[in-house]
Amino acid sequence: MVPLIDRYILKLFFSYFFGGLVVFITIFLAVDAMSLVIRFPEASGEAFVRYYLFYTPQIVYLMVPVACLLGILFTLSSLNRSNELLALFACGTSLMRVCLPIFIGVGGLSLIFFTAADQLLPRFVQLKNYTYYHEIKKHPAQYSTVKTDRIWYRSKNMIFNIKTINKQKAMAEGLTLYQFSDEWQLSQMITAARVELLGQKWKLLNGSITLFTEDTSFPLTQDFKEKIISIDEELGDIQSSFNSIDVLSFKDLKRYIQKNKEAGLDTVSLEVVYHDKMASLIAAFVMVLLGIPFSVSSNRSGGVMLNIGFCLLTVIIYWSLKNSSLALGHHGTLPPFVAAWGPNLLMTLIGLGLVIRTRS
């Protein structure tokens, strides 16, 4: 049976957590919606409603660690202001014991949200991306989806698929392009081992071109080492619209990486995304740990607001460190595991050090 004091602390934490979650989601949606409406004034209101309907689950998942931070801040600050925290210390209860039910609650939340996100978010992200590129941006060719081990695109009379895209290096690998006539008859097929994405000019390396004509029963094939092709303007920046990995579950992403490895393709960026998905499982723990020392200090002379300010600054530093580390991982400077887990480990050690210093 859960002790009364633990139930009381959990009740406080979850009330602040869900309240903060609603506030943060509302602010995010309002700011993002204003920006999107300004950028695409010609899009219909129904398109925006569908877009944010599909986008909201992803926002909820992203805001869970921040809401956990708000929850721990206001829970401990509330106990501190009412001297309940002091009474617990007088009874021999340590700070970490006071926070134990919160850590357990955050652990349960993290598992629930991670499992739900892994199973449900890919579908919502796919619907969100489809709505964005087809109904809001009105560039359907930039919409991509993953089927089996390839990424597929379609633009006018062209269908092509690739094995993987490296956005940082503007490179694609494993291209197969099908060109159709106005009567939708296959006219040519181009394959290439690698592609340099140079805007509206693509440089194809080590491939072949096959022509299908009505004059002959047999297609004509010719190999090439290098070939330049012109691409429609809306496909010129296709690497910036590559978001297909978001529609893969954790298990599917692991399988996708394995297939690319077996094909001898570069999977560094994919592995960074894979480890980052797993590392996000403890992001809420890191936020809670960082919030503890800033919420139990003296609340006089504006101390609470000052502590919250310092804590939010620490969180900004955490996210900046994480994004920088992931960028280094995508460029191959850091191993994928280190790039994804390093910031969490570093900030966890800092949080533990601050907690120990608070009670010393």
> Domains (ranges, CATH) in the chain?
4-138+263-359 (no CATH), 145-242 (2.60.450)
**What confidence category does residue 126 fall into, taking pLDDT thresholds of 50, 70 and 90?**
confident
**95-99, 164-168, 181-185, 284-288, range with greatest mean pLDDT:** 284-288
| Residue 337 clears pLDDT 70, i.e. is over it | yes
Q: What is the mean pLDDT of the chain?
A: 81
pLDDT in tens, 197-244: 877 788 889 888 888 877 666 778 888 888 888 776 454 445 544 555
Given a cut of 70, whether residue 331 has pLDDT beyond it is yes
Q: Quick one: pLDDT at residue 324?
A: 92
The pLDDT score that the predictor gives to residue 240 is 45
Please write down the HEC assignment for all residues of 175-228. Answer: EEEEEECCCCCEEEEEEEEEEEEECCEEEEEEEEEEECCCCCCCCEEEEEEEEE
HEC string of 215-284 equals CCCCCEEEEEEEEEEECCHHHCCHHHHCCHHHHCCHHHHHHHHHHHHHCCCCCHHHHHHHHHHHHHHHHH
Q: What SS3 state is found at 336? A: helix
* pLDDT of 149 strictly over 60: no
Burial tier of 92 (Cβ tally within 10 Å: 0-12, 13-18, 19+): exposed
pLDDT in tens, 151-162: 666 666 777 777
- State the helix-helix crossing angle for 4-39 and 95-131, rounded to 10 degrees: 30
pLDDT tier for residue 148 given thresholds of 50, 70 and 90: very low
Instruction: Return the percentage of the chain with pLDDT > 70, whole number.
Output: 82
pLDDT of residue 303: 55
More confident residue, 149 or 139: 139
By the 10 Å C-beta count (0-12 exposed, 13-18 middle, 19+ buried), 29 is classed as middle
pLDDT of residue 154: 67
| pLDDT at residue 19 tops 60 | yes
Q: In DSSP terms, which residues pair with 228 in a beta bridge? A: 203
Handedness of CA 251, 256, 261, 263 (dihedral sign): positive
pLDDT, residue 264, reads 65
* Residue 295 CB coordination number (10 Å): 24
Token pair listed for 208: 């072949």
Q: What is the separation of C-alpha 227 from the centre of its chain, rounded to a whole number of angstroms? A: 35
Core vs surface per residue 332-352: b (16+ CB within 10 A) or e = eebbbebbbbbbbeebeebbe
Please tell me which residue, 265 or 231, carries the higher pLDDT value: 231
In this prediction, residue 340 carries a pLDDT of: 92
The model's confidence at residue 142, banded by pLDDT at 50, 70 and 90, is: low
54-63, 309-318, 320-329: least confidently modelled range: 309-318
118, 337 in Cβ contact below 8 A? no
Please give the single-letter amino acid code of residue 287. Answer: M
pLDDT in tens, 97-121: 888 999 999 999 999 988 888 888 8
Q: Rounded to an integer, what distance in angstroms lies between the CA atom of residue 277 and that of residue 121? A: 12
Find where tokens 């695109």 sit. Answer: 153
Q: For position 141, what pLDDT does the model report?
A: 58
On whether the CB atoms of residues 358 and 95 are closer than 8 A, the answer is yes
Cβ neighbours around 161 below 10 Å, total: 19
225 CB-side CA count, 13 A: 0
167 pLDDT tier (thresholds 50, 70, 90): low
